[in-house]
Amino acid sequence: MTAAVALDAILVVVLLWVAWASLWSRDLFRGIVLFISFGMILSIGWIRLGAPDVGLAEAAIGAGLTGALLLATWGSLPRGSGTPEGEDEPDEEHDASDGQ
Amino acid sequence: MDNRRYFGPGGWVLRVLLAAALAVVGAGLGLALTAPAGDPGLTAGVRAALPASGAGNPVTAVLLNFRGYDTLLEMAVLTAALAGVWSLGRAHRTRFIRPSPVLTALTRVLAPLFPLVCGYLLWAGADHPGGAFQAGAVLATAAVLHVLSAPERGPRLPELPLRLAAVAGLAVFLAVALGVMTGGARFLEYPPALVKWLMLAIETAAMLSIAAILAGLFLGGRPGQPDD
């Protein structure tokens, strides 16, 4: 019982922390990766709430496909936008794992 | 006068509107937390009607039978969203990135597993967690991996099957919903003898549709050869 409560408490804290880090990340790529992690942790949360259907959908759509869409969008942004240094930075090739 | 101070990004009007929206959301959450848990909800009703629904999983029963109308509209929304994205232009690769050997090897290993997992989720959805949405998302992931790991002049997603699959879910759902009316039933009122098979047909078509729609959204435009 106490172990379950401790697990839930850790889940809540980590979930809020990852959400905060994803929203406030100054690097877009970092924010997207944190968003995908947020989806995975959230799906564990749904399973803990006794809703495995929602957990499966969250993992597949919320984390997987939304993450792929966000990464594809990030890959087609102009180089250097969304980094803390701004657009003027002569950055190296985005090795995005997108296909667009 | 500089209107951007009031209306632009970070302007006062936007800030006040956002603050008001946040306050409403916060108040709603606070009300929900403090509200007494007096209403038992519909759990008992759903459990009582479960044997007649044609599915052992209450979530599937609600999604496809009791509230089938909502799921039908949901399929319509997804199909319309795909039509919206595809109407913006053809899919094109802005930059080609050579797929890494890890990605291609992993895709080869995973490829036969996708249909298996997908079929299991679809079939298990009747009695266990799973169903058309999850199975469709798994199938869409397979398509996305296929797109990502294809070489530059390699195979694309086939255009005609993708278009047909995208509308199949809505078409079959509507055909069943209207078809039962010829037997004297109401819209979406499945005859008890056929309910399991009608729902399976809808789920299968919906799975294909969801997979095609999610993969089509990932493409970001109409499939086929680019115009330029």
Identity of the residue in B131, B133, B148 whose CB atom sits nearest the CB atom of A99? B148
Per CB-CB distance under 8 Å, the chain B contacts of A78 are: none
Q: What is the pLDDT of residues A50-97, one digit of tens each?
A: 888 889 888 888 888 889 889 888 887 887 666 665 544 444 444 444
Per CB-CB distance under 8 Å, the chain B contacts of A69 are: 217-218
Calculate what percentage of chain B has a pLDDT beyond 90: 32
Q: Which of A21, A19, A29 is nearest to A84 (CA)?
A: A29
Chain A, 24 to 83: residues with Cβ < 8 Å from chain B are 52-53, 55-57, 60-61, 64-65, 68-69, 72, 75-76
At residue B153, the pLDDT reads: 64
At residue B194, the pLDDT reads: 84
Indicate whether B5 pLDDT > 90.
no
At residue A93, the pLDDT reads: 45
A27 secondary structure, DSSP code: S
Q: What is the pLDDT of residues B123-150, one digit of tens each?
A: 988 888 888 888 999 899 898 888 888 7
Q: What is the mean pLDDT of chain A?
A: 82
Tokens of B188: 């979406």
Per CB-CB distance under 8 Å, the chain A contacts of B78 are: none
Report the pLDDT averaged over residues B197-221: 90
Per CB-CB distance under 8 Å, the chain B contacts of A96 are: 97
Phi, psi of B222 (to 5 degrees): -60, 140
Which region, left, alpha or beta, applies to residue B184 given φ > 0 means left and ψ of -120 to 50 means alpha? Answer: left
Phi, psi of B90 (to 5 degrees): -80, 155
Calculate what percentage of chain A has a pLDDT beyond 90: 44
Contact flag A61-B141 (C-beta cutoff 8 Å): no
Contact flag A98-B148 (C-beta cutoff 8 Å): yes
Per CB-CB distance under 8 Å, the chain A contacts of B139 are: none
Q: Which of the residue ranges B15-19, B39-43, B44-48, B153-157 would you say has the lowest mean pLDDT? A: B153-157
pTM above 0.80, yes or no: no
Dihedral sign for Cα atoms in the order B67, B69, B72, B76: negative
Q: What is the mean pLDDT of chain B?
A: 85
Contact flag B129-A56 (C-beta cutoff 8 Å): yes
Q: What is the pLDDT of residues B27-60, one digit of tens each?
A: 999 998 887 776 677 888 888 888 888 788 888 8
Considering only residues B188 and B169, tell me which one the structure prediction assigns the higher pLDDT: B169
Q: Say whether residue B59 is in contact with chain A using an 8 A CB cutoff.
A: yes
At residue B119, the pLDDT reads: 92
Do B97 and A98 touch, CB atoms closer than 8 A?
A: yes
Tokens of A14: 């980590």
Contact flag B220-A60 (C-beta cutoff 8 Å): no
Q: Which of the residue ranges A7-21, B31-45, B79-93, B189-203 would you say has the lowest mean pLDDT? A: B31-45
Helix (H/G/I), strand (E/B), else coil: A49: coil
Indicate whether B154 pLDDT > 70.
no
Helix, strand, coil percentages, rounded to 5, for chain B: 70, 0, 30
Contact flag A61-B137 (C-beta cutoff 8 Å): yes
Chain B, 72 to 91: residues with Cβ < 8 Å from chain A are 91
Report the pLDDT averaged over residues B198-227: 86
Dihedral sign for Cα atoms in the order B134, A65, B142, B136: positive
Q: What is the pLDDT of residues B82-113, one digit of tens each?
A: 999 999 888 766 556 778 889 889 988 998 99
Residue A55, min C-alpha distance to chain B (Å): 9
